[in-house]
């Protein structure tokens, strides 16, 4: 396993992701789209768990990741890490990716690709993105929330009935592209949401999808089914 020095762990404290190892840890958590333990992250990156733990503490202090203590049948609780719903890594996405997205959307628009075809493709992508269960602790709803957070949507959720819940998305990670062709981008996102539900809990249905101004965010995703019931039981009514 690679050894981390103190200088490596503490480099550039004002910008957590400038340090390469922390950037790799954050990228891995984003790709997983679910909670992961310290040992799992260390094994995947071929690093020592103690060094990874130091980096995770720095990322947590910077508001980029969230720590949850998970009880074990025996022994002490272990740490499970997820991307924070309010994470804004680096403040802005690299401009090259934003430009590429704008160009691709323009190509789709010029090719007159239909909204239904875009949503169908998004659904396939969503199924691929659906994080598999890593343990018996996190429910499908919690994994959906983690996936939306990892994608950069800054989700908050509220329950409105025993079998209904709403996600309010506090950030639009696709805003630069949505300004070009919001109907296509929102159709893609709607499809991704349906695909995530297919992979996590097919019995939970998307019953509402309300786009908002991408610069102001606040898009609403309304669900009905077991996920909402689970959230109501475990977290109670109101904003979660």
Please determine, for residue 193, whether its predicted confidence score (pLDDT) is greater than 90. Answer: yes
Residue 23 has pLDDT above 70, yes or no: yes
Q: What's the average model confidence in pLDDT over 220-240?
A: 77
Q: Which CATH class is domain 6-83?
A: mainly alpha
Please state, in angstroms and rounded to a whole number, the distance separating the CA atoms of residues 1 and 43: 9
Give the tokens for residue 169: 């998305």
Cβ(102)–Cβ(175) under 8 Å? no
pLDDT at 3: 43
Write out pLDDT tens, residues 88-115: 655 444 445 566 677 677 767 777 888 8
Please check whether residue 141 is in contact with residue 231, taking contact to mean a CB–CB distance below 8 angstroms. yes
Mean per-residue pLDDT for 45-62?
Answer: 92
- 95-239 topology per CATH: Muramoyl-pentapeptide Carboxypeptidase; domain 2 (3.30.1380)
List, by residue range, all CATH 1.10.10.10 domains of the chain. Answer: 6-83
Q: How far apart are CA 92 and CA 53, in angstroms?
A: 26
More confident residue, 89 or 40: 40
Question: What is the tens place of the pLDDT at every residue in 138-161?
Answer: 788 988 988 888 888 889 989 887
Domain with CATH 3.30.1380.20 in the chain: 95-239
H/E/C letters for each residue in the chain? Answer: CECCCHHHHHCCCCCHHHCHHHHHHHHHHHHHCCCEEHHHHHHHHCECHHHHHHHHHHHHHCCCEEEEEECCCCCCCEEEEEECCCCCCCCCCCHHHHHHHHHHHHHHHHCCCCHHHHHHHHHHHHHHHCCCCCCCCCCHHHHHHHHHHHCCCCEEEEEEECCEEEEEECCCCCHHHHCCCHHHHHHHHHHHHHHHHHHHCCCCEEEEEECCCCCCCCEEEEEECHHHHHHHHHHCCEEC
């Amino acid at each position: 396993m690679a050894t981390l020095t103190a200088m490596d762990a503490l480099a550039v404290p004002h910008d957590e992701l400038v340090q390469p190892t922390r950037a790799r840890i954050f990228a891995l958590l984003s790709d997983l789209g679910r909670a992961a333990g310290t040992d799992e992250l260390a094994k995947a990156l071929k690093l020592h768990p103690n060094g990874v733990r130091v980096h995770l503490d720095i990322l947590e202090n910077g508001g980029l990741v969230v720590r949850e203590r998970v009880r074990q049948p025996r022994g002490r609780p272990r740490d499970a890490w997820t991307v924070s719903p309010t994470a804004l890594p680096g403040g802005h996405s690299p401009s090259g990716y934003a430009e590429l997205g704008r160009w691709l959307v323009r190509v789709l628009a010029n090719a007159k690709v239909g909204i239904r075809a875009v949503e169908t493709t998004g659904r396939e992508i969503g199924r691929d993105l659906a994080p598999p269960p890593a343990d018996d602790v996190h429910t499908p709803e919690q994994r959906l929330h983690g996936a939306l957070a990892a994608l950069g949507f800054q989700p908050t959720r509220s329950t409105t009935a025993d079998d209904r819940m709403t996600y309010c998305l506090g950030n639009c990670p696709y805003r630069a592209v949505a300004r070009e062709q919001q109907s296509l981008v929102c159709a893609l996102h709607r499809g991704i949401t349906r695909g995530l539900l297919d992979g996590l809990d097919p019995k939970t249905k998307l019953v509402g999808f309300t786009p908002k101004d991408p610069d102001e965010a606040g898009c609403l995703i309304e669900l009905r089914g077991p996920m909402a019931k689970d959230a109501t039981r475990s977290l109670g009514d109101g904003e979660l």
